[in-house]
């Protein structure tokens, strides 16, 4: 789904990314690569393969959009124990497949204790701040640079709770436009969600059955959307 927030034309993707065609840039948040390795290192039995599935989703978006830059909006990894041999190998294969792709990482709270990443991954570490044309990138929504129009960020793993007249139906991951922030859903295949409480000035797009759907809560005059 293509949307226009203020003067920015963006595309919300069902794989939980945002594509900015003007700069050929794909944004994702909260990949939490290797989280399954961290759980298993603490003797918690969990299925393998979440990192591979997340990388498949990113590859699908890159190939469809022809993005030249990938920006990870924090929490690329879950913990130091996430950097297992399997995770290293999966990222090596991904990097070889997308050798010309620029990858930038805004460190999130889970990334900061990790130290230097392998040079072979060729990932540029960038601070929270303006990315281009007054659009900023960050991880935590609470930390927004001054003098920018819009910030893309993550951290919250937003989801919208669905209710019927009688019961709570469930939750769906969503994109959340809130106070000059577009907060992305967590793309990590093995991550939870946090229920948001949008206001009448917010906008929400949920992801359901491989489709991005605008919530009926769309009142701001600075926002337009169209299905694609």
Residue 47 has pLDDT above 70, yes or no: no
Express each pLDDT in 115-134 by its tens digit.
Answer: 788 888 999 999 999 999 99
Which is higher by pLDDT, 114 or 80?
114
Residue 42 pLDDT class (50, 70, 90 cuts): very low
What does the pLDDT look like over 69-87, one tens digit per residue? Answer: 999 999 998 666 667 788 8
Kindly report the average pLDDT of the chain as a whole number.
Answer: 86
Q: In a 10 Å sphere around its CB, with 0-12 CB exposed, 13-18 middle and 19+ buried, how is residue 106 labelled? A: buried
Say whether pTM exceeds 0.95: no
| Sequence spans of domains, the chain | 2-126+149-226
Task: State both tokens at 203.
Answer: 């906008």
Ramachandran angles phi, psi of 123, nearest 5° = -110, 125
pLDDT at 79: 62
Q: CA–CA distance from 38 to each of 46, 77, 82, 217 (Å)?
A: 10, 10, 5, 38
C-alpha angle 132-133-136 in degrees, rounded to nearest 5: 55
Rounded to whole angstroms, the Cα distance separating 150 from 87 reads: 33
Was domain 2-126+149-226 assigned CATH 3.40.630? no
């Amino acid at each position: 789904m293509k949307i226009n927030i203020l003067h920015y034309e963006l595309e919300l993707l069902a794989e939980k990314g945002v594509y900015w065609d003007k700069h050929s840039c794909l944004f994702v948040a909260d990949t939490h690569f290797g989280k399954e390795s961290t759980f298993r290192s603490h003797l918690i039995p969990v299925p393998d393969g979440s990192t591979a599935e997340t990388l498949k989703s990113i590859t699908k978006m890159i190939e469809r959009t022809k993005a030249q830059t990938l920006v990870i909006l924090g929490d690329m990894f879950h913990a130091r124990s996430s950097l297992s041999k399997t995770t290293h190998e999966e990222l090596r294969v991904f990097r070889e497949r997308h050798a010309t792709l620029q990858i930038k990482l805004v460190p999130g709270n889970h990334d900061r204790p990790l130290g230097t990443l392998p040079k072979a991954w060729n990932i540029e570490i960038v601070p929270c701040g303006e990315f281009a044309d007054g659009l900023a990138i960050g991880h935590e929504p609470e930390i927004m640079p001054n003098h920018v129009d819009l910030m893309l960020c993550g951290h919250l793993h937003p989801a919208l709770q669905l209710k019927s007249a009688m019961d709570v139906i469930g939750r769906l991951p969503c994109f959340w436009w809130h106070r000059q922030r577009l907060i992305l859903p967590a793309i990590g295949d093995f991550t939870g969600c946090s229920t948001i409480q949008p206001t009448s000035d917010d906008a929400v797009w949920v992801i359901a059955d491989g489709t991005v759907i605008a919530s009926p809560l769309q009142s701001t005059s600075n926002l337009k959307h169209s299905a694609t």
